């Protein structure tokens, strides 16, 4: 404890950030290891060509819902986070939805304005991917294996760190 008291304030702040980010990264890693979906994410693709184009690339899959207020608040931060994605990484936005007229209407409204395609996932798909809260961001490596899984808002530093580490898993 004596050493901690002697450290300058700046070092204490840096140490706290390092501790915080490594802890959240460990939680995300172990939650990701626990996620082994029986359904590949490529099932969301609208065409076989689209599904084939996703293979062999790391992916960031963002699960959200239209009724989720946190998702709405996170939208501008997510757009900022997406700037950190390497060109080879694919971003997939997945909306919690059932096959209903309301869902089709929401998707048709979102699709023209969306910077990224929005895919709809039913309850069975969400259950396979262990999505229990929104927003949930899942990071997959090139083989399609889940490496990190986070629920809630991700800071730009945490988002960048996870996308950077994907290449090593």
Residue-wise pLDDT tens digits, 144-162: 899 999 999 998 988 999 9
Quote the CA–CA distance of 12 and 6 in Å, as a whole number.
10
Looking at per-residue pLDDT, the higher value among 98 and 145 belongs to 145
Q: Is the predicted pLDDT of residue 111 greater than 60, yes or no? A: no
Q: In the predicted model, what is the mean pLDDT of the chain? A: 86
pLDDT computed for residue 16 by the predictor: 84
pLDDT computed for residue 3 by the predictor: 79
pLDDT computed for residue 110 by the predictor: 58
Q: Is the predicted pLDDT of residue 106 greater than 70, yes or no? A: no
| The two structure tokens encoding residue 1 | 């404890």
The upper half-sphere exposure of residue 108, i.e. CA atoms within 13 Å in the direction of its Cβ, equals 6
pLDDT digits (tens, 9 = 90+) for 4-33: 778 788 888 888 888 888 888 888 998 888
Mean pLDDT along residues 100-111: 63
pTM of the model: 0.85
b/e sequence 39-61, b meaning 16+ C-beta within 10 Å: eebbebbeeeeeeeebeeebbbb
Q: Which pLDDT band, with edges at 50, 70 and 90, does 94 fall under?
A: very high
State phi, psi for 83 to the nearest 5 degrees: -70, -20
pLDDT computed for residue 137 by the predictor: 95
CATH H-level, domain 2-168: superfamily: Glutaredoxin (3.40.30.10)
pLDDT computed for residue 140 by the predictor: 94
pLDDT computed for residue 100 by the predictor: 59
pLDDT digits (tens, 9 = 90+) for 37-55: 888 899 888 888 998 999 8
CB 163: neighbour CB atoms within 10 A?
Answer: 20
């Amino acid at each position: 404890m004596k050493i901690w008291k002697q450290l300058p304030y700046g070092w204490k702040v840096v140490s706290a950030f390092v501790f915080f980010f490594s802890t959240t990264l460990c939680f995300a890693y172990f939650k990701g290891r626990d996620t082994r979906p029986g359904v590949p994410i490529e099932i969301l693709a609208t065409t076989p060509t689209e599904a084939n184009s996703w293979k062999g690339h790391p992916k960031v899959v963002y699960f959200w819902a239209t009724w989720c207020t946190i998702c709405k608040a996170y939208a501008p931060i997510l757009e900022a986070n997406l700037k950190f994605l390497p060109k080879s990484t694919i971003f997939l936005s997945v909306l919690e939805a059932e096959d209903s007229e309301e869902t089709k209407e929401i998707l048709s409204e979102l699709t023209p304005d969306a910077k990224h395609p929005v895919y709809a996932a039913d309850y069975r798909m969400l259950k396979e991917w262990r999505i229990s809260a929104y927003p949930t961001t899942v990071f997959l490596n090139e083989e399609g294996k889940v490496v990190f899984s986070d629920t809630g808002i991700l800071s730009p530093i945490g988002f960048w760190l996870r996308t950077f580490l994907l290449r090593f898993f």
